[in-house]
Amino acid sequence: MNKGKFNIINPNSNLYDRIILAIQKEKENQTNQIRKFVIFFTGLFCLSATLTITSIVQFIKAWQNSGLIYLFRTITSDFSLFLSLWKYFTLAFIESFPIINLIIFIFCLAFTTFSLRLIFYKKYLLIKTLIK
């Protein structure tokens, strides 16, 4: 009854080949994106880990140079002196504490943690890329 309303169109003979080629190109694009992702975030992690190690070393050096070790030795050796002069000890602690180095260390540690989280968030992509 309705045979005249529908025209059957025969597809082009190389349509199947073009579809397969498009699928292969898409897989290649995904693989390239995954490789770029792995390279970028591995580089980001290496950079952040290097900065974290450097900031730890700087913080330890600043801690040793600040004289806080001697302050704590004085507090523990003569606690009655500390109780009588606790305000001055507190001011000395605040003045000599390496706060800038501590802030830099915390920032670098957070940066390292963030880059690790990004890597392991898509760990299946990393494993899939390494297998290929």
In a domain, residue 2? The reply is: no
In a domain, residue 41? The reply is: yes
pLDDT of residue 126: 63
The chain-wide mean pLDDT, for the chain, equals 84
Of 72, 60, 64, the residue nearest 101 (C-alpha): 60
In a domain, residue 94? The reply is: yes
In a domain, residue 5? The reply is: no
pLDDT of residue 27: 85
Is the CB of residue 109 less than 8 Å from the CB of residue 53? no
What is the identity of the amino acid at 63?
Answer: W
Instruction: Look up the domain containing 30 and give its range.
Output: 15-131
In a domain, residue 55? The reply is: yes
Q: Is the pTM of this model over 0.75?
A: no
pLDDT of residue 125: 64
Query: What is the C-alpha separation between 104 and 51, in angstroms, rounded?
Result: 9
Structure tokens at 43: 């580089």
Structure tokens at 79: 């606690």
- 3-state SS assignment for residue 59: helix
Residue appearing with tokens 């009854």: 1
Of 70, 75, 66, the residue nearest 94 (C-alpha): 66
In a domain, residue 7? The reply is: no
Is the CB of residue 71 less than 8 Å from the CB of residue 93? yes
In a domain, residue 8? The reply is: no
pLDDT of residue 75: 84
Taking the alpha carbons at both ends of the chain, their separation in whole angstroms is: 56
Residues in the chain: 132
Q: Domain total for the chain?
A: 1
